[in-house]
Copies of this chain bind each other. A is one copy, B any other.
Amino acid sequence: MKQSHLFTHTRREAPKDEVAKNAQLLIRAGYIHKEMAGAYSYLPLGLRTLNMIVGIIREEMNALGGQEVHLTALQDKKLWAATDRWDDARVDNWFKTELKNGNEVGLGFTHEEPLTNLMKDHVRSFRDLPQAVYQFQTKFRNEERAKSGILRGREFLMKDLYSFNADEKSHAEFYERAKLAYARIFERVGLGRETYATFASGGSFSKYSHEFQTVCEAGEDTIYVHEAKKLAINKEVFNDEVLANLGLKRDELVEKKAIEVGNIFTLGTRFSEPLNLVFKDVEGKSRPVFMGSYGIGPGRVMGTIVETHADEKGIVWPEAVSPFAVHLVALFDEKGTVEKEADDLYKKLTAKGIEVLYDDRDCAAGEKFNDSDLIGIPKRYVISEKSLKAGGVEIKERLTGRVVMQDISSL
């Protein structure tokens, strides 16, 4: 894409009311726009990165055998009353509104209830199980405060997968496969090194749930990290009993702040029982389906990457989630030689299927370099009179600052 065509411009300063580093950088670089606290629109660069993250998650969910759906945001009170999650005294972050006839409806903050209900149309016998169903869908949560940029929104995209098994044993097998898929996702988006599978409280149906926590000072959670074993324990369950269970000694773990980038949870029959999602087992006996839930917020992942992959000049995207693979920066001369070479290279790279943002704007070199650092594409190709004299294109890695000259014909 030609940068002269991109409608967004970078800006020197973030809005004064924006305190989160992720939002400050993403707004300054033109990735997102703040509509109100906790509600951000995605601009072309931001949507590209969000879609890269979504694409990676989708691949891993499909590899797990997940089937993609898209449920509504509008929620029927009846289903949530049945599980005792309608009352504001029980769930304090509902957005509720009403139909013309006065009936109250909610905006889904999660989707256990409607999906459990929906599955009743399709699950009758043990032959219809197991199933894994997922979606990328906008959640609404009426957060009291929303000051963390895209880390915690009042409206945000979520990938939520739900598993449906005949018994706890087959659930446990799926759960372990899902844990591996989650680890792969964080590895692939570039958060592998600093993200820990973290033991957290489990609820009625299992001792633990698992959170995926990325170590980061901006995080709201406190975890205890065991570096050697590459695992962590959430503060809420960091006690002698849990340490003994896991065979760990307290002084082997280090306290860190972290962002919860994903979580997987055994639901058991918490929803299938009240909503009556049952199946006939091999003996013809009616039994409730055994469920699990598996969430990741692609926007929160994006915000976490910015929090952990940036320097004083701007964002430093990992390759897999960068909006473009290459930032081609042309410093035009008066004769038009640079422009011609840059145009040709842009066409050549694009024809190879390489996604290029081509800075063809008529502005000063300093402005181009500052914008490029801020936008954070991992590879910068600079073409100028100087580079052409020196042999071709100057290639600079955003992460390391390392510069090499390369012959244009070799690209």
A39 to chain B, nearest CB (A): 4
Main secondary structure of the interface of A (DSSP, over half): mixed
Q: A7-B122, A8-B122, A133-B7 are in contact. Are A144 and B100 (CB under 8 A)?
A: yes
**Known A7-B128, A41-B72, A97-B97; further 4 A-B contacts with Cβ < 8 A:** A36-B76, A42-B69, A44-B67, A107-B107
* A74 CB-CB contact with B under 8 Å: yes
How long is the Cα–Cα vector from A147 to B268 in the complex, in angstroms? 37
Task: Say whether A35 contacts B114, CB under 8 Å.
Answer: yes
Beyond A41-B114, A121-B9, whether A47 also contacts B70 by CB under 8 A is yes
**Contact code string A17-32 (vs B, CB < 8 Å = 1, else 0):** 0000000000000100
Q: Is the CB of B142 within 8 A of A74?
A: no
Is B144 within 8 A of A76, CB to CB?
no
Chain B residue numbers with a CB within 8 Å of A121 are 8-9, 11, 33
B71 touches A41 (CB 8 A): yes
Query: Can you list 17 A-B pairs, Cβ within 8 angstroms, ordered by A?
Result: A7-B122, A7-B123, A7-B128, A7-B131, A8-B122, A9-B122, A33-B121, A35-B114, A36-B105, A42-B69, A42-B70, A44-B67, A47-B69, A73-B73, A97-B97, A99-B142, A100-B142
Contact (Cβ within 8 A) B5 A65: yes
Q: Which residues of B contact A36 (CB under 8 A)?
A: 74, 76, 105
A 71-108 to B, binary, CB cutoff 8 A, 1 in contact else 0: 11111100000000000000000011101100001010
Copies of this chain held together in the complex: 2
Residue picked from A68, A71, A74, A128, most chain B C-beta under 10 Å:
A74
Answer whether residue A119 sits at the interface, using C-beta atoms and an 8 A cutoff.
yes
Contact between chains at B138 and A67 (CB < 8 Å)? no
Q: Are A69 and B43 in contact (CB under 8 A)?
A: yes
A41 CB contacts on chain B under 8 angstroms: 69-72, 114, 118
Q: Kindly provide the distance from the CB of A88 to the nearest chain B CB, expressed in whole angstroms.
A: 11
The reply to whether the CB of A140 lies closer than 8 angstroms to some CB of chain B is: yes
Contact A73 B43 (CB under 8 A): no
